[in-house]
Amino acid sequence: MDLSVLEGRRVVLGVSGGIAAYKAVEVCRLMVGAGAHVVPVMTADAHRFIGEVTLSALASEPVHTSLWDDASPIPHTRLGQDAEVIVVAPATARILSAYATGSSEDLLTATLIATRAPVVVCPAMHTEMWEHPAVQDNIALLRARGVTVVDPQSGRLAGGDLGAGRLADPATVLAAVCAVLARGRDLIGLSVVVTAGGTREPIDAVRMIANRSSGRQGHAIADAASRRGATVTVITTSDLATPPGATVLHVETAQQMHDATLEAAETADVVVMTAAVADFRPVCASAGKIKKRDGIPEIVLEKTPDILLALGERKRPGQTIVGFAAETDDLVANARQKLEQKHVDLVVANDVSAPGVGFGLTTNAVTILGADGTCSEVPLADKGLIAGAVLDSVMRFRTGRETQ
């Protein structure tokens, strides 16, 4: 964690009304200690858990609490415009709901809606609340809009209960803020193509060969690239949300993804091949439904086009190609072999047999290997944070190549 990125940066720290509000005091202290100018904003309910004097004493200026009693006639606008990042720790279910739905009933929610700065929310609540479908829908919506979510941890909660919902520790919150500030808009001027989802190869009119890929990791990378200033093209089999302003191409089969990706790659600076492409397809697909009464059909398979190999072979000078490798054993060895055989620059490998990793989940853990000999591990984290780490590796690779 590079704390130097906080030096001189203006951070709005939002504190809402949960028992974990006491941890915001330590978050504030750490950020101020690293040189940040921290502007605290407390909700009315936050005052039930920590004192305004405590936060004012540790922050860079007194606590802001009201839309109506502030020195500025439009405090939410000023706070939102001046912020370089907004952090909400803890973020209660109410705050998450208000932010997701655009309800600006207090100074904190109004500031969140009035900013174009990156936002980091750190949920904290009881397990039953955290797992409620409404809360999870709001979290998914905020992620889709580019908000960084620092997932709560499992542990002891208020009342002595144990479970998920405990606010992430202050060091984890600080690391997420530093990562957001470090990235900034470093992809401005770059054209990035991202593939996502699993391809579907028809057997007949109703059946297909497919895989478990949800497209979440690819869409997270597209979102992160867009937030960092790239011009983004998403080639996807998924119906997940895509970044505003992105070019979106919906495909189904490996051949369709092959054709769309190679065409988009002709002018792309970076291609991130996150999609899980079927390796085989039926030679002949039935136009109608195959009936049980006709017996077990004989399905002859053929290989699908190798999109990553084609990208590697056609790679232009200055272009960066990133492949993904979902493995269940010999992770690094298999990924390195793929890196060499496909002639690509980076391979992002994950062990989909590990807990919390892989298809259909909101979390992932990856090892990123580079053609320059680099190898970095990213431990289990939200797929949005994994997306940031992948793009960080892309930029390090490109910067290193430019300086050679």
β-strand pairing of 346-351 with 363-370: antiparallel
Q: Are strands 231-236 and 301-303 parallel, antiparallel or unpaired?
A: unpaired
CA distance 289 to 300: 17
The conformation of residue 351, written as its DSSP 8-state character, comes to E
Q: Quote the CA–CA distance of 216 and 275 in Å, as a whole number.
A: 10
Per annotation, catalytic residue among 138, 211, 334, 350: 211
Q: What share of the chain is helix, strand, coil (3-state, %, to 5)?
A: 35, 25, 40
Q: Which of 348, 371, 372, 397 is nearest to 218 (CA)?
A: 348
| Structure-derived torsion over alpha carbons of residues 376, 382, 385, 387, reported in degrees to the nearest 10 | 80
Q: Do 42 and 63 form a contact (C-beta atoms < 8 A)?
A: yes
AA letter at 119? V
Residue 400 CA to residue 397 CA, distance in Å, equals: 5
CB of 28 closer than 8 Å to CB of 58 = yes
- Does the annotation count 350 as an active-site position? no
Place of tokens 């009315």: 44
Q: How far is CA 223 from CA 116, 206, 250, 383, in A?
A: 15, 32, 16, 11
Backbone angles phi, psi at 357, to 5 degrees: -115, 140
* Angstrom distance (rounded) from CA 72 to CA 79: 10
Residue type, 393: S
How far is 148 from 145, CA to CA, in rounded Å?
9
Catalytic annotation, residues: 211
